[in-house]
Structure 1
Amino acid sequence: MEITELFFIFLGAAVFVFYGGKLLLFSRMLFPKRWFPLPKSFFRSMGEWAVVTGASEGIGRAYAVALAERGMNVVIMSRTKATLDQVAEEIGEKTGQRVKVIVADFSKDDDFGEIELQLKDLSIGVLVNNVGVLPTFIPCKFLDSEELDMTITRVINCNVKTMLKMCRIVLPGMENRRKGLIVNLSSGIASIPFPLYTLYAASKVFVERFSRGLQAEYEDKGILIQAVVPFGVSTRLSGYQQTNIVTLSSEEFVRSSLQYLRAGDKTHGSVCHMILGCFLESIPLKLLHSECMLERIQNYVKRKTTQESASSENDDQLCCEAV
């Protein structure tokens, strides 16, 4: 047998093994309860309290409710006290768990010393870094952003600094107890260089890389740290898009993502988002970054936003009439 023929045989075998392994890994994601089972006592075994930032609505609120339903007391953090108090009351009535409210505007240079003081005596087993800000729902180039300097500060403070500070506050206690769970919310658009949302996408790349690096540092301490990288979830951040097979409600997404906590240091949180991520990464960047494609994206989002705004106004009018 000639050397050339042997080369192609080995090459074919290597390709088969490589993609066969990928297919096997993918198949595991279809059955998370079987491959990544969590005992009923999993969350309570981590500690008595869970801390969730950006918990007044959307994904953060859904995480707070889900963790309380699993037997944890929760600390909910956001900037609007009235909303937090309402959420706290709802969680308490629904689950019977204790809820602590901490008011903080993470877009500003808050004093994290006060937050640390309020968390000092709590046995924190779970931290969910969810708070984040999208500069604008309408896609635009970096220099076209309104109040650019202020926008840069808000995005860095909310999406990057808060995650770092909260990890710095909570991680020592977890290290001492040799157990704990940290979930950091990134974004699917961080999967590739994403024009028109450049600042937001870059901040979420930081979240993902920091989380995975931190997991490598503290895995041997019994601490589980995971970057969750969702695509479409119907929240205020995404303009309350209509839910469908790809765009999930906050509750659906959180329920799904909690099944993948043992699936690795990075997860899309759901099968449909994982498939979407694989598809997006397979598209040539030259095609995605072409001027024609960028214009199409801008026009589509603008048209969709206009339609949803008109629908929202009509709904508001109907609500007023009903009242």
Structure 2
Amino acid sequence: MELITQQFFSVLGLLFCIKLALQFLGFIKYLFPHLWGSLPLCFFRSMGEWAVVTGAGDGIGKAYAVELANRGMNIVMISRTLEKMQRVAKEIEQSTGRHVKIIQADFTNNNIYEHINENLKGLEVGVLVNNVGMLHNPDPCRFLSGPDNDKNLINCNITSTVKMTRIILKQMEERKKGLILNISSAFGRFPCPLYAIYSASKAFVTTFSRALQAEYKSKGIIIQAITPYGVSTPMTKNPSTDIVTKSPIDFVRQSLNYVKFGDETFGCLAHEVLGCIINCIPLRVIHSTAVQEQFLKIFSNAHK
């Protein structure tokens, strides 16, 4: 019996060491991405001439539009606010010389996709960034304390990803190449109280992305869910940047270097480290009433 117990704990210790080694390799990938095969300058353009970015007027979407243009792609910007897109488009065209096409559409509605599809006809789309999204409420709150905007959030966070993927994936499958980046959230990696509907919508995006990658990786298509923690954007009220809270352009530049790192990535090293730390916290702690009350108190005091 004593021998069996020793063998059991030896195996358990070995498995734990293997897990730590795999996590360490994960960090090494982020620290030295070139060791895992650096992306050539022409990588993104080799997927196709155009990149389509939803929610491209500001924040992360704007950063993807700018950075993909810097990497040689023409850009299709899709968003609700025409004036913002026009300013970004002018900036991109002047600084990079790439072409920019604007499609105005409100992703909280479901009747926009025929219009989008018509405007994309004839374009060789090599990259799709499903970025558009919204929060149930900017600050943490219990479900019934937030606004009744469930339909808008589901349309914006879930339906947009499915519909845009269906439009673009068809031509990628025909050409046997393409890249789809679905911007999810670290809040979708576990049931996150005080952001319940947002967390659930992002869990859908991540699961949808990983399932599609399993279906289409053999056809030469990369589909990746990106699950960031803090990025300073208008949706998050533009918090100050620091070692964890990234500026949109800093986050996007890092995330584009990791598009071959698997079907899901945090997008940057700092968020990878933070994710490993949070994964060590038992879910019952995060779900405890005391922790929730503390978060609500912190955000309440911040607005006083």
1:210 corresponding residue in structure 2? 208
1:49 to 2:47 alignment: no
Aligned residue runs from structure 1 range 72-83, under 5 A: 72-83=73-84
Q: Deviations over 1:148-171 (max 9, x none)?
A: 2xx111110000000100000000
| 1:24 aligned partner, one-letter code | L
Cα distance in 2 for residues equivalent to 1:5 and 1:145: 53
Whether the 8 Å CA contact 2:106–2:112 is kept in 1: the answer is no
Aligned residue runs from structure 1 range 12-161, under 5 A: 12-146=13-147, 148=148, 151-161=149-159
2:241 corresponding residue in structure 1? 243
Whether the 8 Å CA contact 2:76–2:103 is kept in 1: the answer is yes
Name the count of aligned residue pairs. Answer: 303
RMSD between aligned residues: 1.4
Cα distance in 2 for residues equivalent to 1:29 and 1:287: 29
1:229 corresponding residue in structure 2? 227
Deviation at 1:88, TM superposition (A): 0.8
Aligned residue runs from structure 1 range 170-209, under 5 A: 170-209=168-207
1:262 corresponding residue in structure 2? 260
Deviation at 1:35, TM superposition (A): 1.8
Cα distance in 2 for residues equivalent to 1:197 and 1:3: 46
Whether the 8 Å CA contact 2:52–2:128 is kept in 1: the answer is yes
Q: Deviations over 1:98-149 (max 9, x none)?
A: 0000000001223311110110110000000000011211211112222x2x
Normalised to the residue count of structure 2, the TM-score between the two structures is 0.96
Query: Structure 1 stretch 294-303 or stretch 39-48: which is displaced more?
Result: 294-303
Give structure 1 stretches of 5+ with no counterpart. Answer: 308-323
1:317 corresponding residue in structure 2? none
Q: Secondary structure in 2 aligned to 1:51? A: strand
Whether the 8 Å CA contact 1:212–1:227 is kept in 2: the answer is yes
Q: Secondary structure in 2 aligned to 1:293? A: helix
Whether the 8 Å CA contact 1:49–1:73 is kept in 2: the answer is yes
| 2:279 aligned partner, one-letter code | E
Q: Which has the larger radius of gyration?
A: 1
Whether the 8 Å CA contact 1:36–1:259 is kept in 2: the answer is no
| 1:57 aligned partner, one-letter code | D
Query: Structure 1 stretch 123-132 or stretch 287-296: which is displaced more?
Result: 287-296
Q: Deviations over 1:196-217 (max 9, x none)?
A: 1000010000000000000000
Cα distance in 2 for residues equivalent to 1:10 and 1:132: 44
1:219 corresponding residue in structure 2? 217
Deviation at 1:233, TM superposition (A): 0.4
| 1:271 aligned partner, one-letter code | L
Cα distance in 2 for residues equivalent to 1:83 and 1:21: 43
Q: Deviations over 1:219-260 (max 9, x none)?
A: 000000000000100001111001000001001000111111
Cα distance in 1 for residues equivalent to 2:10 and 2:84: 64
Q: Deviations over 1:55-98 (max 9, x none)?
A: 00000000000000111000001011111111111110010000
| 1:127 aligned partner, one-letter code | L
Normalised to the residue count of structure 1, the TM-score between the two structures is 0.90
Identity of aligned residues (%): 49
Deviation at 1:29, TM superposition (A): 2.2
Summarize the Cα distance change of 1:21–1:124 in structure 2 as closer, same or farther, 3 Å threshold: same
Give structure 2 stretches of 5+ with no counterpart. Answer: none
Q: Deviations over 1:21-65 (max 9, x none)?
A: 332233222211322410111011000000000000000000000
Cα distance in 2 for residues equivalent to 1:108 and 1:2: 65
